[in-house]
Amino acid sequence: MEGEERVGFFKKDISRRKFLKYSGRGIAGGVVSFSVLSMLTGCDDTAQITGFPLAAGILISDKSRCTGCQRCEIICTMNNDGKAHPHISRVKVARNYNYGAEGVTNNYEEGEGHFGNFIIEPDTCHQCEEPVPCAEACPMDAILAQEESGTRIVKEEDCVGCGACEANCPFNMITIDPEESKAKKCTLCDGDPSCAKLCPTGALKLVPWEEVNAKLKKHRFQLS
Partner 1 sequence: MATTGWTGKILRVNLSSGSITTEDTLKYKEFIGGMGIGYKVMWDEVPEGTHPFDPENKIIFAAGPLTGTGVPCSGRTNITSLLPTNPYHAISDSHMGGHFSVRMKYGGWDGIIIEGKASKPVWLRIENDDVTIEDASHVWGKGIFETNAVLTEEMGKEAVVAAIGQAGENLVNMSVIINGASHSAGGHGGVLGSKNLKAIGVNGNQSVGIAADRKEWLELDKYMMSLIGANNQHVVPNAPQPWAEYHNPGSRWTGKKDLYWGAANPPVETGECDPKDMNSVGLRTQKAVFDHGEVAEKHTVRMGGCHSCPVRCHSQLHIPKLEEYGYSANVTNTCVGYFSPGAVMINGIYDQDEDNTRTEGAMITRGLGAQLADDYGMWCNYMQLGRDFLYAYENGILEKVLPEEEYNSIEWDLLEAGDPKFLVDFYRRLAYKEGELSHLGDSAYWIAKRWDFGDDYWNDAKYGLWSPLGFPRHHSNETAGQVGAVISCMFNRDAQCHTHINFTGSGLPIDLQREIAGEIWGSPEALDPPADYTPMNEYKAKFAKFSIIRNILHDSLTLCNWMWPMVLSPLKERGYRGDTSLEAKFFSMATGYETSEEELDLAGERIFTLHRAMTMKQMGTMDMRNKHDLMTDWIFDADPEEEPFTPGTVKMDREDMELAKTLLYKEMGWDETTGAPTRATLERLGMGYVADELEEKGFLPG
Task: Output the smallest distance, CB 22 to partner 1, in A.
Answer: 25
Q: How far apart are CA 29 and CA 132, in angstroms?
A: 9
Distance CA 128, CA 112 (A): 26
Nearer to partner 1, 70 or 127 (CB): 70
Nearest approach in angstroms of CB 71 to partner 1 is 6
Between 94 and 160, name the residue whose CB sits nearer to partner 1: 94
In contact, 74 and 86? CB cutoff 8 Å:
yes
CA 223 from chain centre, in angstroms, equals 22
Q: What's the gap between Cα 59 and its chain centre?
A: 7
Minimum CB distance to partner 1, residue 109 (Å): 4
Shortest distance in whole angstroms from residue 80 CB to partner 1:
9
Identify the CA nearest to 131 among candidates 113, 115, 152, 156. 152
Among candidate residues 125, 127, 124, the one with its CA nearest the CA of residue 151? 127
Nearer to partner 1, 105 or 149 (CB): 105
Residues in contact with partner 1 by CB under 8 A are 42-45, 48, 64-71, 74-75, 77-79, 81-88, 94-99, 103-104, 108-110, 114-119, 178-179, 194, 197-202, 205
β-sheet bridge partners, residue 208: 57
Nearest partner of 123 among 189, 76, 85, 179, judged by Cα: 76
H-run or E-run covering 78: helix 71-81
* Closer to partner 1 by Cβ: residue 8 or 178: 178
C-alpha span between 223 and 74 (Å, rounded): 35
8/103 with CB nearer partner 1: 103
- Of 88 and 159, which CB lies nearer to partner 1 in the complex structure? 88
- Smallest gap from residue 66 Cβ to partner 1 (A): 8
- We find the least distance from the C-beta atom of residue 59 to partner 1, in angstroms, to be 13
